[in-house]
Structure 1
Amino acid sequence: MSFDLPRNVILPVDAVDVRLDPDPHPFALDNAEAIAENWQREIAANPALFDGTVVLLSQLAYRDNRLVGRCHAVTYSTFMLWRKRRENSGAEHAYAHAVLVAGDNALVAIRMGLQTVNAGRVYFAAGSFEPVDFRDGQVDVDFNMIREVREETGLDLSGAERGKHWHALSTNSGTVIFRRYHETAPADEIARRISAFVATEAEPEIEGPVIIRHAADLPVGLSPHMKPLIEWHFSGEDSLV
């Protein structure tokens, strides 16, 4: 098990070859009792949590503008324990962001709902990779992006113009794979649509939209990994890709 990629730098990515291994993740096998005990504490503190299925990496490398790796399906309860024991765990987390760019070049992010694990945090609509995001064993990053944006905001980005390439930012807390998705409507109109969708949801995942209009426009609760992405966008770097 190895993780070999530059940290804390935005990387161009031409291909994502991350495969789903059918075998259990070693972290899940080695920590079964602790996972069960921790989950009881987690749901006691937040009964809204659901023990679904996500994936954890056992390998990820960056080679020739490609991300190559292996991951395993795990329960969300396994993921929750890993969050507390990630150092030297033999596991890492990767997730995807559709960087939603409005017609006026503002960015539209979301603030997570109070009942969620990341309550109050601001980032682009996203969720962990799940088995449904894999095609013939290989992750479909854009499928995950479009699915998560639709589930959280009601927006359908399947017809939106996309950047030609992905990018990635890897930190000690995980690796985010991101891509611009361009909408023609201004940010205020997109935010209105999201707010209208949230109002119809019995148990919305998000509190609502957050508009970011320039590099210094950093909202309260912004997740640490977001600042480099915001600066990258407004710098104009790769503005057409």
Structure 2
Amino acid sequence: MSFDLPRNIILPVDAVDVRLDPGPHPFERDNAQAIAENWRRETVANPALFDGTVVLLSALSYRDNSLVGRCHAVRYSTFMLWRGNRHVAGAEHAYAHAMLVAGDNALVAIRMARHTVNAGRVYFAAGSFEPTDFRDGLVDVDFNMIREVREETGLDLAGATRGRRYYALSTATGTVIFRRYRETASADEVAQRISAFVAAEAEPEIDGPVIIRNPDDLPDGLMPHMQPLIEWHFADKD
């Protein structure tokens, strides 16, 4: 299967069949020394890094409006080496975005804190899939979305209105799976709630909320994959 999906186009996704393979990822198995050496450099530059567990794809395809793939649990240090060598065959990254839509149709994103790997970058609250996001070996995308938004912003999207399907955008840097989550409160009200949560955290993951009111209202530090998602939203797709 390997990686077989259209790139740089937003795709409708009715099902995500990405499964967790209990075996080691070939990239981690074959690069142990390089992973250790790179991790030493990374932690010297940023001592706040933690070598937890995330997942890395070994295959992903798009067919019949479904994403079908295979991934493996890897150490974060493995992910960091891959991150600097994204052209490596046989390994790619997928992650999920809860596209937070306020009652006034503005989007609410976040800016990452200075101690994080993506310091200062703006995107929707999100994180890599972790083994806890899988149910009987199958990824639960909405669980990941809700968990990451809660951890980073304090918001609970469990009761929010969800878009009727997922969408995906695959680029050279990875594949983002996204879905609208609609709040009834205005963007300013949602941002105030996030700011209050951040102020109460000892070491928050984010600096705070970023409101995007139209496709020309693009903040500094916006991650490249975000612009097509923003344009898609304000073009009233779905």
**TM bucket normalised to smaller:** over 0.9
The answer to whether the Cα contact below 8 Å between 1:27 and 1:89 also exists between their aligned partners in 2 is no
Pairs within 5 Å for 1:72-83: 72-83=72-83
Look up the SS of the partner of 2:71 in the other structure: strand
Task: Tell me by how many angstroms 1:88 deviates.
Answer: 2.8
Identify which range, 192-201 or 82-91, moves more after superposition.
82-91
5+ residue gaps in structure 2? none
Residue by residue over 1:45-80, the C-alpha shift from the partner in whole angstroms, topping out at 9 and shown as x without a partner, is 000000000000000000000000000000000000
Q: Secondary structure at the match of 2:17?
A: strand
**Paired residue for 1:225?**
225
**How far does residue 2 in structure 1 lie from its aligned partner after superposition?**
1.0
CA contact (8 A) 2:82 2:88 kept: no
Amino acid at match of 1:134: F
Aligned to 2:205: 205
How far apart in 2 are the matches of 1:16 and 1:52?
24
Distance apart, 1:89 and its partner CA: 3.3
Normalised by the length of structure 1, the TM-score is: 0.98
1-side partners of 2:130 and 2:16: how far apart?
Answer: 15
1:37 is matched with 37
Aligned pairs for 1:1-241 (under 5 A) are 2-238=2-238
Q: Which runs of 5+ in 1 are unaligned?
A: none
- Equivalent position SS for 1:233: helix
Letter in 1 for 2:226: M
1:36 CA displacement: 0.4
SS in 2 for 1:98: strand
Contact 1:82/1:89 (<8 A) preserved: no
- Local SS of the residue matching 2:158: coil
C-alpha deviations, 1:95-128, integer Å up to 9, x for none? 0000000000000000000000000000000000
- CA offset at residue 180 of structure 1? 0.1
Instruction: After superposing the two structures, state which structure 1 stretch, 81-90 or 228-237, moved more.
Output: 81-90
Counting matched residue pairs gives 238
Q: Whole-Å Cα distance in 1 between the matches of residues 109 and 155 of structure 2?
A: 12
Which SS does the other structure have where 2:103 is aligned? Answer: coil
Amino acid at match of 1:178: F
User: Which letter does structure 2 place at the counterpart of 1:13?
Assistant: V
- Residue pair 2:121, 2:222 contacting (<8 A) in 1 also: yes
Q: Secondary structure at the match of 2:109?
A: strand
Q: What CA distance in whole angstroms lies between the structure 2 residues aligned with 1:29 and 1:237?
A: 42
The question of whether the paired residues in 1 share the 8 Å contact of 2:8 and 2:170 is answered with yes
Structure 2 residue matching 1:59: 3-state secondary structure: strand
Deviations 1:9-31 (A, max 9, x none): 00000000000000000000110
SS at match of 2:189: helix
The one-letter code matched in structure 2 to 1:216 is: D
Deviation for aligned residue 1:90 = 1.3
Distance in structure 2 (CA, Å) of the matches to 1:201 and 1:74: 28
Matched to 2:96, the amino acid is A
* Separation of aligned partners in 1, 2:17 and 2:150: 24
Question: Which SS does the other structure have where 1:40 is aligned?
Answer: helix
Distance 1:39 1:198 in 2: 29
Once the two structures are TM-superposed, the CA of residue 237 in structure 1 deviates from its matched residue by 1.4
SS at match of 1:27: helix
Aligned-residue sequence identity (percent) comes to 81
SS where residue 203 of structure 2 aligns?
coil
SS in structure 1 of the partner of residue 157 of structure 2: coil
1:237 aligned counterpart, secondary structure: coil
